[in-house]
Amino acid sequence: MNEEGSILLTALVLMLILSVFGIFALNTSDYEIDIAGNQQRFEENFNTSEGGASKEGAGIGYAGVNGQYQWYEISDPTNFNVSLFPSTFADYDPSGDDMPIPGVFPNDFSADDPNTWPRENLLSDVNDDILDYGYLVTYLGEEGSAPKGTNAAGFAAYKFRINGQRVVSVEMGGVKLGIKNPL
């Protein structure tokens, strides 16, 4: 029996099998890196959207000392399901150009189209576009009655819905308790 070269042939077959496994392992690693990167971008966008909605929610009914902070005015508490805007607007897109908005705010605004919502930056940093988000604050109506110990004539519980959007949309709601807006 002539077995010359059988060890060489066996070694070549084993090398071929190991090479196929190596290529498969490299491709799997590339896919896993892509998946991890996509998950990281999703979470960054989600956190920016959620942070934006929370930041806008904090401005409901609060003007700060001498009106120094952005806030939302309810001019007619009996008019429900109304989109609200900050009391002042310097620019339609004050935070950069990664989410550019054509048109002029609020003339070209549509509550149904997140692409026309006002824009802001979580850190109010106009030098980059990293934490930009779109937002929509909607007044849904008055909620309940005054809690014990408060003046019912001067108390308000306003119900809101707040949307934040940066690729991922987040919607949250709540009731803001405070002094009733004089009409």
pTM for the model stands at 0.70
Would you say 137 and 56 are in contact if contact means Cβ atoms under 8 Å apart?
A: yes
Domain range annotation of the chain: 1-183
Rg of the chain taking only CA atoms, in angstroms: 28
Would you say 62 and 86 are in contact if contact means Cβ atoms under 8 Å apart?
A: no
Q: With a cut of 70, list the residues of the chain below it in pLDDT.
A: 1, 61-71, 73, 86-103, 105, 124-126, 144-147, 149-155, 178-183
Query: DSSP character for 119?
Result: E
Mark out the alpha helices in the chain (DSSP H runs).
6-58
Residue 61: its pLDDT value, please?
64
Percent of the chain predicted with pLDDT > 70: 69
144: its two tokens: 């309940």
Q: Look up tokens 């310097």; give the residue.
A: 90
